[in-house]
Amino acid sequence: ILNVEQSPQSLHVQEGDSTNFTCSFPSSNFYALHWYRWETAKSPEALFVMTLNGDEKKKGRISATLNTKEGYSYLYIKGSQPEDSATYLCAWGTGSARQLTFGSGTQLTVLP
Amino acid sequence: DVKVTQSSRYLVKRTGEKVFLECVQDMDHENMFWYRQDPGLGLRLIYFSYDVKMKEKGDIPEGYSVSREKKERFSLILESASTNQTSMYLCASSSQVGEAFFGQGTRLTVV
């Protein structure tokens, strides 16, 4: 099993704070890096799919960057709101297989 | 509205029973996946399929099998349910290069 690691495991921030988390993955045989948001009692939903080294994606207050050479991606949330509270998952897709390997997630709690 | 539908939200089964979890997608996706989610362990891949009748083992296939007779349907089978298979099971589908779409999950309890 090739590991995808996320840090921190959990995070509590105050409303209005900006925050970021890390996903590290094997740099060999890279195909794609996905970020998902998983809210309680719902299904995971995709935030970003990134495929190129140096990719930067943005959706509202959330953005992500990708470094495939060193095997990491950052997810940033600017001005966190209580509705951002969720578990954020990253998933690594390899070129030689069609599977997505998920990290264990970062659980974010935004306190009002 | 795209959809991945799992047949049950909650299931309670007895040890030793044969259990079928069904998943249907309406997006004509090639890839389908079965994951289980346990606290602190994230999503772990059980099996995936990239075409009809094709299947590949994921990271934790022991005690499970799968069936994909039609493109839209991917079934997970617990041949003889055990208590350590109590978990949340998530089905997902994706195109070759796109994001995964997930079902609502099945919380299985084996007693």
Could you report the per-residue pLDDT of A40-61, keeping only the tens digit for each? 888 999 999 999 999 999 999 9
pLDDT above 70: residue B51? yes
Average pLDDT over residues B15-38: 95
Confidence band for A96, pLDDT divided at 50, 70 and 90: low
Q: Number of CB pairs < 8 Å for A and B?
A: 57
pLDDT at A31: 87
**Residue % of chain B over a pLDDT of 70:** 97
Residue B94 identity: S
Confidence band for B41, pLDDT divided at 50, 70 and 90: confident
Distance of alpha carbon A13 from alpha carbon B57, whole angstroms: 39
A17-32 residue pLDDT tens: 999 999 999 988 888 9
Average pLDDT over residues B17-21: 97
Q: Chain B contacts of A1, Cβ < 8 Å? A: 59
The alpha-carbon gap from A82 to the nearest alpha carbon of chain B, in Å, equals: 22
pLDDT at B78: 97
Q: Which helix (H) or strand (E) holds B12?
A: strand B10-13
pLDDT at A25: 94
Confidence band for A101, pLDDT divided at 50, 70 and 90: confident
Confidence band for A15, pLDDT divided at 50, 70 and 90: very high
Interface check A96 vs B, CB under 8 A: no
Q: What would the DSSP string read from start to end of A53-96?
A: TT-EEEETTEEEEEETTTTEEEEEESS--GGG-EEEEEEEEESS
| Contact flag B43-A34 (C-beta cutoff 8 Å) | no
Could you say which of A34, A99, A105 has the minimum Cβ distance to residue B58?
A99
Task: Please answer whether residues B90 and B105 qualify as being in contact, where contact means their C-beta atoms are separated by less than 8 angstroms.
Answer: yes
Q: What would the DSSP string read from start to end of B59-109?
A: S--TTEEEEEEETTEEEEEESS--GGG-EEEEEEEE-SSS--EE---EEEE
